[in-house]
Structure 1
Amino acid sequence: MLLCLLLAANGALAQSSKKKKSPAAYNKQNKENEKFLEKQWWLGIRGGVTLTKVDPTTTFSVLSPTNYDASESGKKYDNFSLVGSHITMEATFYFKQFTFSLQPTFQHSRFAYTNQYRWTDGAEGSNNNVELNYKQEQKVDHLLIPLVVKYEFMATTRLRPYLQIGIFQAFRIGATKEVTVSGIDQASGGQNQFEDEPITVGARDLFAKKYWGVLGGAGLYYNLGNNVRLNFDVQYKHGMSNIVSAENRYSNDRLAGVGDAMDDLDMDNINISLGCLFPLRFLESGFKSLNRK
């Protein structure tokens, strides 16, 4: 009886082994795997540098010249020259080469502008004048909530380029402003150059509580064999509304006292970042969902 039982068990195991090795079973499993991999949830983090450009839509000034054209004292913006930073958390859903992504971002932006005023006694040939040069640097922090759609190319390879578009809402967190005044004084009997100590003030109320914009960009995913994606990403964010608070434009006495008033501004940012994403759905512990070839 024991021998019969052993033979029966051996026959059952052999039959089970044949079923597992059948091509039909393999094909069915592969189709289920491919269907599973058509969609995936990812969670990740990335960070990098931010470059900023601002476009004045309406200009403002505390002082107005009377004996020369106002354009000579207008602000000159130094765009994409100061390096800021950002860090992004990303929650992403992938479906058939399309990615739908929520990307909360802390963004630190920096931009600067300069302008110049001259005072003179008005007498012909007189050298009694004072020239003042102003340099203002703004640092402003925002929390951005972007919604992004990506399209991936070459979906079966390790290196996957993509294009992206989206929309975002930005909320002001904080800001500071630094003003440096320098110049040449020829009204005191000689030519004296000077530079005052920088004035640094909290400028949170000078910026609007929120603004919105659109974005576009491109990037690359590199798929590792352990189901992790490395990410290189470039985004251009274009602001569609004023980032300056109109009602608080002249509210800071120290800034108004040195002749500064902020223009109405639209802000653009270039964000360049590196990061990684981790999948949230797995077939099995040994299955490499991103390295099938």
Structure 2
Amino acid sequence: MWFSLLVILCLHGVKAVDLITCEGLTVNLTCAQGTIKVLSANYGRTDRTTCSTGRPAHQLSNVQCTQSTSLSVLTTQCDGKQNCSIVVRNTVFTDPCPGTYKYLNVSYECILPPPPPPPPPSANNLVTCESDTARLSCANGSIKVLSANYGRTDRTTCSTGRPAHQLSNVQCTQNTSLSVVITRCDGKQDCSIPATNNVFGDPCVGTYKYLNVSYTCSQGKTVIICQDKSSAISCEGRRRLHIHFANYGRRDKVTCPCRDPKAMSTMCISSETRNLQNKCNGKKHCQLHASNSNFNDRCPRIHKYLEVSYSCE
């Protein structure tokens, strides 16, 4: 009789799963929380008793049967997933010992993601349920995004009226969330961003998600320089420039208008924050020229502008 044996053991202080699956069956690796990390694996035979029921002696006699590529097959197909199924057969692992009835012995653990750092006391924390629109706003200064996640990390937030299966996955994170919100909102006084799969992608299909954003209001100034124009930013006294955000592109259809509507397409993003930080930080005065020769032209044929948020510190 073919069988699959599951044993829980402690490996280096971490709870691991040791799973034995006979040749011809399907091995199922799963994590109720976290993601799979394969520790060891072998497709072959190292004793005469495992997966031996009903098998003739000559199929069990070779107990030195190992396949060195077993671990790489498992890690390639399973690492980083919550669930993984593989048929235990020669076509998947190749046959290390023809004529021997084999089995797969795999050990894995479930890796939990580190908890997100708590926001600073002065930060604004905004939670927006899926399909609603998040609205970030600063009465004074400009938006500085600290953290963001589109997904689900508990069962209670945005749970009203939702079935249990849409709330059960509490390890749902989208690692591109922060960059998406920064691109759309940093340096602005007001910003609206839909909490939808179209904007962030779907990190966990079937789960009802929400957007959790932490941000502060930077007490700085913002300057807009239309394409091919120049301007300067400066600080008085002993204060020096500190660049918070810079974009050379177009984020709306109102700023720096032109006659050609096609040249006013929005969401032309080319972050120049680090570029201007290197150029201007620590100076009293910094001359800026908004041109394709000075900055990355990510959107040809679009009439762009340089948008800079800064403070004097």
For the superposition of Structure 1 and Structure 2, which TM-score range results when normalised by the shorter chain? Answer: under 0.3
Q: Which one has the largest radius of gyration? A: 1
TM (norm. structure 2) is 0.20
- With CA pairs under 8 Å and 6+ residues apart, which has the higher RCO, 1 or 2? 1
TM (norm. structure 1) is 0.21
